[in-house]
Amino acid sequence: MNKVKFIYNPYSGENSILNNIDKVIKIHQKKGYTIIPYRISMEFNIDRAFEDIDDNYKYILIAGGDGTVDTVVNCMKNRGLDIPIAILPVGTANDFAKFIGMPSNIEKACKQILSTEVKKIDLGKINDKYFLNVASMGLFTDISQKTDVNLKNTMGKLAYYIKGIEQLPNFRKLKVKVRSEKSYFDGDIYLMFIFNGQTAGNLNFAYKAQVDDGLLDVIIIKAINPVDFFGLFINMLKGDHLNNSSIIYFKTDKLEIECHEDITTDIDGEKGPDFPLRITCIKHGLKILGMEE
């Protein structure tokens, strides 16, 4: 029997997956797959979704946003599971799914998943946690954690912008040390991203990143005059910023970060580990279906 574990977050985005579950099952049945669903909730630990995984399962289908995908991947890796995943992007933010070319239409996404071959992609690791898209720290990067779930479900991306405006009074410099074989930095920053994907908040920050090169793309935005920061932000919207003198950009497979500021880290929209950070790229550490050529 060909089984697919279908892990879905009923609260992601605008609850769109709830109106498409029958469609997901129907499309898979036509291809000879049996869908075994697991509904994410606060009542049950997500680890229970993997208790029956055996050789009959061909892949894990995840319906949710970046945070949901991150949670599932971490559970899989902690259990030593090496089974392909596929993503139905139904969350408020779907940065990684969009990066690999997944359509937002559920039917199209399912058909694309079922018509593609398994690809091996890189996976980031920050201390004892894994991330698929991006790890970040600094100004605005904990917005997803601080935004009320009900507000996100009701207002979508607008909720993030509202929370971002609330964060403006916290605009401050952060003292960090960054070490890698490629670069060393000891100074003040506003923002730092470590990308495996390319986008955060649907902004194409790491437009030179590749998902299977064994390298992470590091972007450090140095502490500059707030007026100049606005100009830099405009360059980011245009996708022309990696050569800006206010940015340090490099690729690496490992780095260390020290910071003694009272700030949180973020991995794919979820709370990350505390400092100091040891970050590595696991080349071809994850199998995935649905990725465009």
Q: How far apart are the first and last CA of the chain?
A: 29
The residue among 152, 212, 146 whose CA lies nearest residue 11 is: 152
pLDDT in tens, 19-58: 999 999 999 999 999 999 999 998 888 999 999 999 999 9
Res 87: pLDDT: 98
- For residue 240, the tally of other CB atoms under 10 A from its CB is 11
pLDDT in tens, 164-217: 445 544 567 889 999 999 899 999 998 899 999 999 877 888 999 999 999 999
Comparing 292 with 254, the larger pLDDT belongs to 254
- For residue 101, the tally of other CB atoms under 10 A from its CB is 13
CATH of domain 2-115: 3.40.50.10330
Provide the H-helix boundaries in the chain: 21-30, 66-78, 95-99, 106-114, 143-146, 149-155, 157-167, 226-238
**Mean pLDDT, the chain, whole residue set:** 88
What is the average pLDDT across 95-113? 96
Q: What are the sequence ranges of the domains in the chain?
A: 2-115, 129-282
The three-class DSSP label of residue 191 is strand
Residue 225 pLDDT level (bands cut at 50, 70, 90): confident
The residue among 121, 126, 132, 60 whose CA lies nearest residue 94 is: 132
Q: Is 129-282 assigned to CATH 3.40.630.40?
A: no
Q: Is 127 exposed, middle or buried (0-12, 13-18, 19+ CB in 10 A)?
A: middle
Res 166: pLDDT: 52
Give the C-alpha separation, 227 to 223, whole Å.
11
Percent of the chain with pLDDT over 90: 67
The residue among 3, 133, 105, 142 whose CA lies nearest residue 60 is: 3
- Is the pLDDT assigned to residue 153 strictly greater than 50? no
The residue among 270, 293, 292 whose CA lies nearest residue 133 is: 270
Please give the model's pTM, rounded to 2 decimal places: 0.89
Residue 111 pLDDT level (bands cut at 50, 70, 90): very high
Comparing 268 with 155, the larger pLDDT belongs to 268
Percent of the chain with pLDDT over 70: 88
The three-class DSSP label of residue 107 is helix
Res 141: pLDDT: 61
The three-class DSSP label of residue 121 is strand
